[in-house]
Amino acid sequence: MTHIGIFFGTDTGRTRLIAKQIAKKLRNTADTPINIGRTTVTDFLAYDALIVGSPTLGDGMLPGKSTGLSQPSWEEFLPQLAEADLHGKSIAIFGFGDQKKYPNEFVDAIGLLHDVFVARRARVVGRWPTSGYDFTSSQAVDGDEFLGLALDRHHQPALSEERIDTWLAQIKPELLP
């Protein structure tokens, strides 16, 4: 497929809103965002370029039954990729977190998703500088970069839009060369 597929997990709906905002900004190059708990591996694998989003819940966990969700989410979807080969696919990850309340697990979900996709041989694009954030540790960090776009609607809501625009400009040529 020549379109970008957008898949998200969510608890209270903010990640879905951002996914929709990203789709709108990408206009006709992206398809309508899909809740990862309501899709199939076949539909996910239909895309060679993907943007995926997730909040971090629990203490540094992906959303799913273990974090109290009544619907399946990333926790239930990822094991279904165990046999999948993602070679040739490019994936950009964005994540929501709270750097003040969870300074030791800030946007961990980005790192958890990254590791699964890389283990399945995908190319993960869209790293983002850690400067401008205030946290202690995160599974989403490599050196001085996050492994995807980190957003914090609790403490830096005014920065999100500009961060998204800059990040999209960066990843677009990598997702659709």
Ligand X SMILES: Cc1cc2nc3c(=O)[nH]c(=O)nc-3n(C[C@H](O)[C@H](O)[C@H](O)COP(=O)(O)O)c2cc1C
Task: DSSP letter for 105, please.
Answer: S
Binder to ligand X among 49, 52, 107, 125 (CB under 6 A)? Answer: 107
- 121 or 136, CB closer to ligand X? 136
Query: What would the two tokens of residue 143 be?
Result: 């050196």
Amino acid identity, residue 63?
P
Q: Is 33 in the site for ligand X (CB under 6 A)?
A: no
Alpha-carbon span 93 to 116, nearest angstrom: 12
- Residue nearer to ligand X on the CB measure, 47 or 106: 106
Shortest gap between Cβ of 11 and ligand X (angstroms)? 3
Residue 107 CB, shortest distance to ligand X, in Å, is 5
Smallest gap from residue 1 Cβ to ligand X (A): 26
Q: Interface with ligand X includes 123 (CB under 6 A)?
A: no
Q: Is 94 in the site for ligand X (CB under 6 A)?
A: no
Q: Which residue has the tokens 């799913």?
A: 64
If binding is defined by CB under 6 A, does position 7 make contact with ligand X? no
Cα separation, 164 vs 128, in Å, equals 11
- Supply the DSSP symbol for 31: P
Shortest Å distance, C-beta 152 to ligand X: 8
148 close to 110: Cβ distance less than 8 angstroms: yes
